[in-house]
Amino acid sequence: MRRYLRFVPLALLLAVLVELVAFVGVGRTIGYGSAVLLGFAASLLGLVLLRREGMRAWRGFRASVESRQPPGPQVTDGLVGLVGALLLAVPGLVTAVVGLVLLVPPVRRLARAGVQRATERRVSSMVAGDLFGPRRVKVRRADAQPAPEPTVAGPVVDAEVVEAGRAIEGEIVQPRRP
C-alpha cells in the first residue's frame, strides 16, 4: 500500500470542513436558500458538462487513433475536462469553483501539461513515446563539446551519440507542433 493513502481520510475530512465553512460564509452573505440553489445549479451544470466532456474526450481519442496519431494529448485534455466537470457536479461550492477553474482554457492547458509530465515520469519512455509521440532529445557530452542539433528520438540510434558503456546526459524537449 502506498504511503500517501493513509492521508486520504484526513484529506476528505478536511475537504468536508472547508465545504461547510464556505457554505456557511456564502449562506450568510447571500442567504442560505440562495446558497442551496447555487449548489444545486452548480451540480446540475456539472452533470451536463460531464456528459459533454466525456463525449468530447471520446471523440478526440477516436479521431487520434483513426488518424494514427498518439492519443496522449487528447486523453490528457479529456481527463482534465472530466475532472473539472466531475468537481462541478459534486455538491459543494469550493469544488464547484475548482471545477470551473479547471474548465477555463488557459488553466486547462497548464493542468494538461502537468498531467502529461506526471504520466511521463511514471511510465517507461517507450510507453510515453507511444502515448505522446516522439520526443526531441538534446544530447550534451560531459566533455563540454557543443551539443548537436536536436534529433527525433525513435528506433534509429545514432552510433556517434550513444557509445557503448558510456552514460550521456540528455534533456527531453517537447516537439514543435506544425
Q: pLDDT, tens digit, for every residue of 33-88?
A: 999 999 999 999 999 999 998 898 889 888 888 888 888 788 888 889 999 999 99
18 within 8 A of 43, measured Cβ to Cβ? no
Cell of 87: 468537481
Q: pLDDT, tens digit, for every residue of 138-157?
A: 555 555 455 455 455 444 44
pLDDT of residue 155: 44
pLDDT of residue 156: 44
With b meaning 16 or more CB within 10 Å and e meaning fewer, what string describes 52-69? ebeebbeebbeebeeeee
Cell of 122: 511514471
Report pTM: 0.68
Percent of the chain past pLDDT 90, that is, above it, reads: 41
Q: Among 53-57, 60-64, 92-96, 167-171, where is mean pLDDT lowest?
A: 167-171
pLDDT band, very low/low/confident/very high, at 20 (cuts 50, 70, 90): very high
CA angle 69-72-77, nearest 5°? Answer: 120
Closest to 150 (Cα-Cα) out of 163, 136, 162, 135? 136
In the chain, where are the structural domains located? 3-129, 134-178
pLDDT band, very low/low/confident/very high, at 116 (cuts 50, 70, 90): confident
Task: Give the whole-angstrom CA distance, residue 25 versus residue 18.
Answer: 11
Mean pLDDT value of segment 113-118: 86
DSSP string, 73-111: HHHHHHHHHHHHHHHHHSS-HHHHHHHHHHHSHHHHHHH
pLDDT of residue 104: 93
The distance from CA 64 to its chain's CA centroid, rounded to whole angstroms, is 18
Q: Among 7-11, 97-101, 155-159, where is mean pLDDT lowest?
A: 155-159
End-to-end CA distance of the chain: 43
pLDDT of residue 136: 58
The mean pLDDT value of the chain amounts to 80
